Structure 1
Amino acid sequence: MQFLTHNHGCPGWGGEMARRIRAYDWSLTELGPIEQWSASLRSAVQVLLASPLPMVMLWGRQGFMIYNDAYAEFAGGRHPYLLGCAVELGWPEVADFNRHVLDVCLAGDTLSYRSKELVLLRDGKPEDVWMDLYYSPVPDDDQTPAGVLAIVVETTERVLSERARQEAERRYRAVNERIQLALSAGPLLGSFVWDIPNDALSGDERFARTFNYPADCSLDALPIGIARQSIHPDDLEEVNQRVELTLRTGIPYSSEYRIRRPDGDYLWVQASGRCEFDALGQPLRFPGVLIDINERKTAEASLLKFTRNLEQRVADEVRARLTAEEQLRQAQKLESIGGLTGGVAHDFNNLLQVIASNLHLLARHEPDNRNVQRRVGAAIEAVERGAKLSSQLLAFARRQPLSPAVYNPGRIFDGMAELLQRALGETIQIEVALPDEPWCIHVDRNQLENALLNLAINARDAMSGEGIIRMIGENVVLDEASCAGKDIPAGDYVRLSVIDHGAGMPPDILNQVFEPFFTTKTDGQGTGLGLSMVFGFVKQSGGHIEISSLLGEGTRAQMYFPRSLQPEARDEALLEPLQPGGQETILVVEDNAEVRSASVELLEQSGYRTLTAANGDEAMKLLLDGVAVDLIFTDVVMPGLIKSSDLAAWAKVQTPPVPVLFTSGHTRDIISRNHLLSPDTHLLSKPYGPDALKQMVRSVLSG
């Protein structure tokens, strides 16, 4: 069960489900004892436990279930019975469906369903539920599918809400149709008869008043021109076309149009009629009526306006939701990549440490051999480049140890002005704008300066080395709407922006800029880790970063850091030169034999006496047996029951306290909180050289 807690470089399993998995007797299933699980199964379970989404592993032909905390909440009363249970027994009401899933995915295929309708038993009663389901095969160590990884997101509430909305719209349309029918049978505005051969119009008094005929006009001889002049100019052409259609085909006449009132307003009317023909088929008479539909038209206009507003609101909500979902997917993708890169960087640092230590030792053994010195020097430079690459990976994965303090952004910009100008060149002009009283932020100053430098270099390259780069600091207050999709709470923030007017980026490039090793530069011009490092640092500092860009117009990178109300940190005084030393006894605790051997040789060459332990258990036994040491030099992540933090806790309560120096590829939060080191914690990051080791050991011993 060792890999459940340490796993050498992979994040530890946390949460209730991790504890339950460790406690479960897996030997009762075909998975066998947990100590014998394959590396593939362990990795898949690690990913599953780290996911915020409900995820379940179905392992083997029977689909034995292993799931995370989110899935436990989804399972309701079936948890924890489902753990280690065959899926067909755990969910008998959908056994056929799950059997199909196992058959398909164990054959190497994937399945996905959007809003899949299923009937599940909840509280003993069948209930219709809808879910988004994603199934992927998980290969065993021999690369043959051995399990199925499922993501289960219940969408019942969304489906029922959509159905309710559709039902409300259907009822709305039905009511609207009834309203229109009722309004269409409104009050009669008069009747008329058109004598077609004589082109003479007659009508009743209501018809004459509607069309504003003079009081002295004979109702039997109403001038047609007056009626036409009263019709709204925009409606007249359609009225004439409908009349022509009725005269030509004999179909009933019906037209809706506006008539100008004496006060200048317009009244909506509906004219209906028919054409009578003589024995030769020639148009003879055209009788008809006018109906007042003004209220109906007013109601329709109001309904149309309401509908358009509703559609706009729905469209805005959908757009905002899609944006938030896309940001969430992007964040989850980067989080998953970060977990992988953090583990890789940790193992990489251990390898680099072995290489670096042996190179330095080789150089000391052959001080007069120029060829050896030259080749070792070249190799050490390569190790340093690898260490820088690993450091950038850890920054993206949010595994780098930070030493934050409270700073005024003005001090940071003032302190790096000369560095920026040297790095960017004389053809770049830098403009800095800050508020009169910028808020303070709690950050690691060195990492923030690196982030600003990275963004500035990208801006310079986007402008081909010439132009103006603007760096702007602003005090901003973000509400909940502004924080949607940013994974930060509403509140006070300091926004630091780096703006250029360079080539800009298209959307497809913009969506990938934070992914590690993604770069648009030519080979040898960049690793693609600059923005990844900035992303990891900002997120690890509790902030948010976003980049907007338009082709041909430039790019704006904005970092948001929470405001700090603590007093500003003072600049540290220059340290006194270290006093010489090297006769003390140092306990070296390291599980990697090659790293341990190299570290011991480096320390002994500096004059120190050394004791060794392969893990915390051995180290604690030596200490409890009364072995006296002046310093404990321990790796952070090791196997065994005793953790490095336990050794440090023991050392702190001794009289006098025994100083502790940690070393690691990354801290994994064993000696830190969110990788933020406390002031009394000393860490020497791997890989390190003999000078760095000697200086840090001397510093801790002298402290």
Structure 2
Amino acid sequence: MSAMRPDRVNILLVDDQPAKLLSYEVILGELGENLIKAGSAREALEHLLKTEIAVILIDVCMPELDGFELAAMIREHPRFQKTSIIFVSAIQITDPDRLRGYEAGAVDYVPVPVVPEVLRAKVKVFAELYRKTRELERLNAELEQRVAERTAELQASTERLQQSEQRRTLALAAGRMGSWDWDVATGECHWDEGQFRIFGVDPATFMPSAEAALRAVHAEDRGRLSTRARRILASGRASDVEFRIILPNGEQRWCIASAAPTLDASGRAVRLSGVTYDITERKKAEHALRDLNGELERRIEERTRERETALAQLLEAQKMDTIGQLTGGVAHDFNNLLMAIMGSLALVKKRLPDDPRTMRLIDNALQGAQRGAALTQRLLAFARRQELKPESVDVPRLVSGMEDLLERALGPGVRISKSLPADLAQVRVDANQLELALLNLAVNARDAMPLGGTLGIAACNETAASVPGLKPGAYVRISVGDSGIGMDEATLAKATEPFFTTKGPGKGTGLGLSMVHGLAAQSGGMLRISSQPGKGTMVDLWLPRATPETSREGAVEDRAPGEDAVSKTAPCTILLVDDDALVSTGTAAMLEDLGHMVIEANSGADAIELLRTSPRIDVVITDHAMPGMTGMELARRLRESHPSLPIILATGYAEFPQSETDELALPRLTKPYLQEELAAAISAVAETVSHQAKVIPLRPR
């Protein structure tokens, strides 16, 4: 590697991959230049604003800003409009790509894999060009300095020739420069045309003097200008001072005065001569550059925030998906266990003697299993995996119908205040889940008001056009507020997280708000919570309005058969398909207790084989989540071979779109289900078969 050159220039290497930056450093190290590395567009811009750069090597494909965007932003800055930019691209470069690069400000392309000799040669050319340009500028500066020195030497030959030459030169500055001369002893002043022009006065009417000039200076700058003049006279050394002047028309202009004293034989200043430069345009350019830098930094910060927000949303979506998958698997297994427990306990309860102590213990066990089922439903609601049955819901009617339940849950210390307008639109949501959500919010509000208070339930029609987290459309906003203790920012940030609770051990699952949040999101709406310590909490539940089409769908209510219909269902032969032996045994026992004959199969393949050898099957009840062949796949196979055979699909959670079951017209049983629900499902398919002219009659046994 060559030694560093004494006149080396800065080369900026921009790439988000450290390995590529290292390879560029090794390849270009032989040039002996100063290599600066940047791993991102933001870091590159920071180097550019602080360092003089000769050549910029940019990778085209970068995650934050690609090479084209970075080059365009660099070219927007006046300082870098002539800086050499070379693109490095690992993809095939097409003519449109080249045109786009050149439009963005590139001077050359280097394809990957990089040929070290080619890259070094190209960078060397532009580095040398930069160096030669700077050398030329230096020579020009030296030439100007020599000219200035020669001019000073000529001016030293005679004072009057110096003054005459100075006035003549400054007069050619087209109003940007003016010269002046002040006799300290007599106070006599001489201004050239440029000086009159800068101060905006007419030479025919204005009498130049030190006092008149000082009056034109901005009030804030007069003291500084006077002090500087006295220092020049006292020290006998030339100096510059920057100040503002106010023209007769009120316009403000920026100036710099360069003043030098003339000394007599005793070293005392007897004259003060100088040049005034009008730098107003330069000041405007500086302000514009500062504004441009600020705008550039603002745009970089905005893009960074946008990308960070998008990344955070992606991570949140991935987290929710992961939790959903985990929750679904847990819910399926947990519901299978609850299915076996609840079914067995119900059958045991029917067959045991009527002993109050025993019945109380069995009821307690059943209540525990039902609480476990409710906990599973809350987990599924949070993970947006619960099975929803959306319909058109009249919110005022729903709230009115559950008012007694709310009063019992809240107790006598909490007053309910309602504001539900008559013209409130209907919402598209699962009515049972909405009731559960409102009850959860009410219980949370009660716990936040230990000394009593007011629970407010209000609703209004809303139209969302640019509400974060909502698709544009028509909504109903249901607000549930309390006058309780409220939450601080830290608690509010975690309020909807699963299992987070402030109620203490054994007093809350931490799934109430999580369930409401999941219901809102799964229904196409959102949940917003606002709270302050000591000022209560307001929960806004946004739900989409029901359209005329969905209103007609929601008007069709599920007609579950009553106890009479269930009891009148004729005994039949049922093929029960489930890979879990506990669930299969418990369900078979419930079916036999209802008077049906049960044939069990532990897989979809076994079920198909049994149907082939046992044609006297009246109804099939199948689990969905089974290895090898799911219940949905089994149903499709049976629709092809036995198109009229009634099939009931049982599932632990909503792991497939409702449209698939709708397509096959499959009734659903959600685990864990009770014997009454099982009987109702069989009664419903039996009724369907009878309506279809008994294509497969249910045969009594």
Per the alignment, in what secondary structure is the counterpart of residue 588 of structure 1? strand
Match among 491, 494, 514 for residue 512 of structure 1 = 494
Match among 310, 334, 337 for residue 348 of structure 1 = 334
Equivalent residues in 2 for 1:74-473, closer than 5 Å: 115-117=16-18, 155-156=62-63, 158-160=65-67, 163-164=70-71, 167-168=74-75, 171-172=78-79, 187-194=175-182, 203-204=191-192, 206-207=194-195, 210-211=198-199, 222-224=209-211, 226-240=212-226, 243=229, 253-275=239-261, 285-425=271-411, 427-428=413-414, 438-462=424-448, 464=450, 465-467=452-454, 469=456, 471-473=458-460
Match among 596, 599, 609 for residue 621 of structure 1 = 609
Would the aligned equivalents of 1:116 and 1:131 in 2 still touch at CA under 8 Å? no
Displacement of 1:592 after TM fit? Answer: 0.8
User: In terms of mean alpha carbon deviation, does 233-242 or 266-275 score higher?
Assistant: 233-242
How far apart in 1 are the matches of 2:507 and 2:639?
Answer: 48
Would the aligned equivalents of 2:75 and 2:81 in 1 still touch at CA under 8 Å? no
Per the alignment, in what secondary structure is the counterpart of residue 600 of structure 2? strand
Per the alignment, in what secondary structure is the counterpart of residue 638 of structure 1? coil
* 1:565 alignment counterpart: 547
The letter for the 2-side match of 1:446 is: N
User: In terms of mean alpha carbon deviation, does 155-164 or 289-298 score higher?
Assistant: 155-164
Displacement of 1:411 after TM fit? Answer: 4.7
Displacement of 1:620 after TM fit? Answer: 1.5
Cα-to-partner distance string for 1:631-674 (whole Å, 9 max, x where unaligned): 22221111234x322443466578893322222211311x7349
TM-score (norm 2): 0.67
Would the aligned equivalents of 2:217 and 2:243 in 1 still touch at CA under 8 Å? yes
Cα-to-partner distance string for 1:453-511 (whole Å, 9 max, x where unaligned): 333443454455424535333331325xx55xx3x654444444445565544444344
TM-score (norm 1): 0.66
Per the alignment, in what secondary structure is the counterpart of residue 305 of structure 2? helix
* 2:504 alignment counterpart: 522
Q: Please state if 1:538 is matched with 2:526.
A: no
Q: Per the alignment, do residues 530 and 468 of structure 1 end up closer, same or farther by CA in structure 2, a change over 3 Å counting?
A: closer
How far apart in 2 are the matches of 1:200 and 1:460?
Answer: 91
* 2:134 alignment counterpart: none
Would the aligned equivalents of 2:198 and 2:278 in 1 still touch at CA under 8 Å? no
* 2:596 alignment counterpart: 608
How far apart in 1 are the matches of 2:616 and 2:665?
Answer: 22
The letter for the 2-side match of 1:610 is: V
Q: Per the alignment, do residues 205 and 156 of structure 1 end up closer, same or farther by CA in structure 2, a change over 3 Å counting?
A: closer
* 2:25 alignment counterpart: none
Per the alignment, in what secondary structure is the counterpart of residue 71 of structure 2? helix
Displacement of 1:230 after TM fit? Answer: 2.0
How far apart in 2 are the matches of 1:333 and 1:349?
Answer: 23
How far apart in 2 are the matches of 1:438 and 1:382?
Answer: 39
Q: Per the alignment, do residues 378 and 575 of structure 1 end up closer, same or farther by CA in structure 2, a change over 3 Å counting?
A: closer
The letter for the 1-side match of 2:499 is: F
How far apart in 1 are the matches of 2:388 and 2:66?
Answer: 45
* 1:593 alignment counterpart: 581
Q: Per the alignment, do residues 453 and 194 of structure 1 end up closer, same or farther by CA in structure 2, a change over 3 Å counting?
A: farther
How far apart in 1 are the matches of 2:411 and 2:354?
Answer: 40
User: In terms of mean alpha carbon deviation, does 233-242 or 594-603 score higher?
Assistant: 233-242
Per the alignment, in what secondary structure is the counterpart of residue 666 of structure 2? coil
* 2:653 alignment counterpart: 666
Q: Per the alignment, do residues 372 and 631 of structure 1 end up closer, same or farther by CA in structure 2, a change over 3 Å counting?
A: same
How far apart in 1 are the matches of 2:19 and 2:669?
Answer: 55
* 2:463 alignment counterpart: 476
Q: Per the alignment, do residues 659 and 290 of structure 1 end up closer, same or farther by CA in structure 2, a change over 3 Å counting?
A: same
The structure, 1 or 2, with the larger RCO (C-alpha pairs under 8 Å, 6+ apart) is 1
Displacement of 1:307 after TM fit? Answer: 4.6
Cα-to-partner distance string for 1:430-469 (whole Å, 9 max, x where unaligned): 5555677555543212212322333344345445542453
Would the aligned equivalents of 1:586 and 1:629 in 2 still touch at CA under 8 Å? yes
Cα-to-partner distance string for 1:665-700 (whole Å, 9 max, x where unaligned): 11311x7349x8679432222223334433443344
Per the alignment, in what secondary structure is the counterpart of residue 586 of structure 1? strand
Cα-to-partner distance string for 1:142-178 (whole Å, 9 max, x where unaligned): xxxxxxxxxxxx84462525632563355446789x9
Would the aligned equivalents of 2:474 and 2:545 in 1 still touch at CA under 8 Å? yes
The share of aligned pairs that are identical, in percent, is 36
Would the aligned equivalents of 2:16 and 2:62 in 1 still touch at CA under 8 Å? yes
The letter for the 1-side match of 2:513 is: L
The letter for the 2-side match of 1:667 is: A
Q: Per the alignment, do residues 172 and 361 of structure 1 end up closer, same or farther by CA in structure 2, a change over 3 Å counting?
A: same
Equivalent residues in 2 for 1:59-70, closer than 5 Å: none
How far apart in 1 are the matches of 2:572 and 2:650?
Answer: 19
How far apart in 1 are the matches of 2:82 and 2:592?
Answer: 92
Displacement of 1:209 after TM fit? Answer: 6.3
The letter for the 1-side match of 2:275 is: V
The letter for the 1-side match of 2:670 is: S
Per the alignment, in what secondary structure is the counterpart of residue 603 of structure 1? helix
How far apart in 2 are the matches of 1:206 and 1:446?
Answer: 88
Would the aligned equivalents of 2:457 and 2:478 in 1 still touch at CA under 8 Å? no
Q: Per the alignment, do residues 496 and 370 of structure 1 end up closer, same or farther by CA in structure 2, a change over 3 Å counting?
A: closer
* 2:163 alignment counterpart: none
Per the alignment, in what secondary structure is the counterpart of residue 519 of structure 2? helix
Cα-to-partner distance string for 1:560-592 (whole Å, 9 max, x where unaligned): 444543332327487663322462222211111
Q: Per the alignment, do residues 213 and 156 of structure 1 end up closer, same or farther by CA in structure 2, a change over 3 Å counting?
A: closer
How far apart in 2 are the matches of 1:679 and 1:549?
Answer: 47
The letter for the 1-side match of 2:593 is: Q
How far apart in 2 are the matches of 1:245 and 1:238?
Answer: 11
Q: Per the alignment, do residues 667 and 457 of structure 1 end up closer, same or farther by CA in structure 2, a change over 3 Å counting?
A: same
Q: Per the alignment, do residues 450 and 205 of structure 1 end up closer, same or farther by CA in structure 2, a change over 3 Å counting?
A: same
Would the aligned equivalents of 1:356 and 1:380 in 2 still touch at CA under 8 Å? yes
Displacement of 1:528 after TM fit? Answer: 0.9
Q: Per the alignment, do residues 378 and 459 of structure 1 end up closer, same or farther by CA in structure 2, a change over 3 Å counting?
A: closer
Would the aligned equivalents of 1:435 and 1:475 in 2 still touch at CA under 8 Å? no
How far apart in 2 are the matches of 1:512 and 1:548?
Answer: 12
> Which of the two has greater helix per residue?
2
Q: Please state if 1:694 is matched with 2:679.
A: yes
Would the aligned equivalents of 1:471 and 1:497 in 2 still touch at CA under 8 Å? yes
* 2:667 alignment counterpart: 682
Would the aligned equivalents of 2:574 and 2:620 in 1 still touch at CA under 8 Å? yes
* 1:40 alignment counterpart: none
Displacement of 1:517 after TM fit? Answer: 0.9
The letter for the 1-side match of 2:253 is: L
How far apart in 1 are the matches of 2:344 and 2:248?
Answer: 104
Q: Per the alignment, do residues 702 and 467 of structure 1 end up closer, same or farther by CA in structure 2, a change over 3 Å counting?
A: same
Would the aligned equivalents of 1:352 and 1:387 in 2 still touch at CA under 8 Å? yes
The letter for the 2-side match of 1:645 is: M
Q: Per the alignment, do residues 384 and 471 of structure 1 end up closer, same or farther by CA in structure 2, a change over 3 Å counting?
A: same
Per the alignment, in what secondary structure is the counterpart of residue 350 of structure 1? helix
How far apart in 1 are the matches of 2:617 and 2:280?
Answer: 99
Aligned-CA RMSD value = 4.2
Per the alignment, in what secondary structure is the counterpart of residue 158 of structure 1? coil
The letter for the 2-side match of 1:531 is: L
